[in-house]
Every structure is written in structure tokens, then in C-alpha cells.
Amino acid sequence: MVCIYCGSKTKTVNSRKRTKGLQTWRRRECGTCGAVFTSIEQVDTEQSLRVQKESGIIEPFLYEKLFLDVHDSLSHRKTAQTDAKSLSATVMMKLFPCKSGVLKTSEIKYAAIEVLKRFDKSAATYYRAHYINA
């Protein structure tokens, strides 16, 4: 990675797997200007995963769709955006490891219901009504 200040190469001086989500936290240091900054590394799910729809069609996995569906279910909460962000990450953790690289739509939906149920029963009910039985 290059320095965000001067564009020179950086080195990793500390690295940790984040406890929530599929991310790695890294502290980086620039050898040229001495700047120190943090980066977060995560899987590019759109390029790495596919989703098999009920019709059999296989498409790229779109994390944004999962986030928006969860957010929609939490729209009655003032903290819907931050809640949806962390809950979507929790759903992703439930879906991994994915040996084939292909997730079935039903796997994603039921993982989302399971996570939502533990957090907010009314959100889980909304999700089930709009995304499972639809």
C-alpha cells in the first residue's frame, strides 16, 4: 500500500484480525515521510462470491443488497444505519467459510433472519414477511 500523504511505499508495523467482521486492521508506516496511519483490509465479496437464486441463475454477491434489506427491516429504529452495518457483518460471518464460493439465496435469507431475531424480533418479522414469503 502507498502512503496516503506522500504516495511512497509503506510497511505494516502491526496487524490484527478484527473480532467483528471479516476484516484485518493494519497499522502502516511510511518509510519516506514517517507518517503512520490505519487501514482496514476486507474481502471483495462481489469478485469472490456468487449467489444462486431460486431460479438457478448465478450472480455476483452484492453486500450492499444485504445491507439495504437489513436496513429496511430496521427502519423503525433511530439507529438503523449503524445497526444494519454491524448486523450485516454478523450475517456475513455466519455465511463463512463458503467452500464452493456460491451461496444460495435461502442461506443468506435464513442467516439474516437468525441474526435479526436475536437483535430485534419485529425486524426479523418484517424481514421474513418481505424477503422470505415474498
Q: Are 71 and 81 in contact (CB under 8 A)?
A: yes
Q: What does the pLDDT average to over 87-102?
A: 87
Between 18 and 67, the higher pLDDT residue: 67
Question: Out of 9-13, 85-89, 92-96, which region has the weakest mean confidence (pLDDT)?
Answer: 92-96
Mean pLDDT, all residues of the chain: 90
Say how far apart CA 72 and CA 118 lie, in whole Å: 17
DSSP letter (8 states) at residue 78: T
Report whether 95 contacts 109 (CB < 8 A): no
The 10s digit of each residue's pLDDT in 1-14 is 999 999 999 999 99
pLDDT digits (tens, 9 = 90+) for 37-82: 999 887 777 778 899 998 999 999 999 999 999 999 999 999 999 9
Residues 6+ apart with CB under 8 A from 40: 18, 23, 24, 25, 26
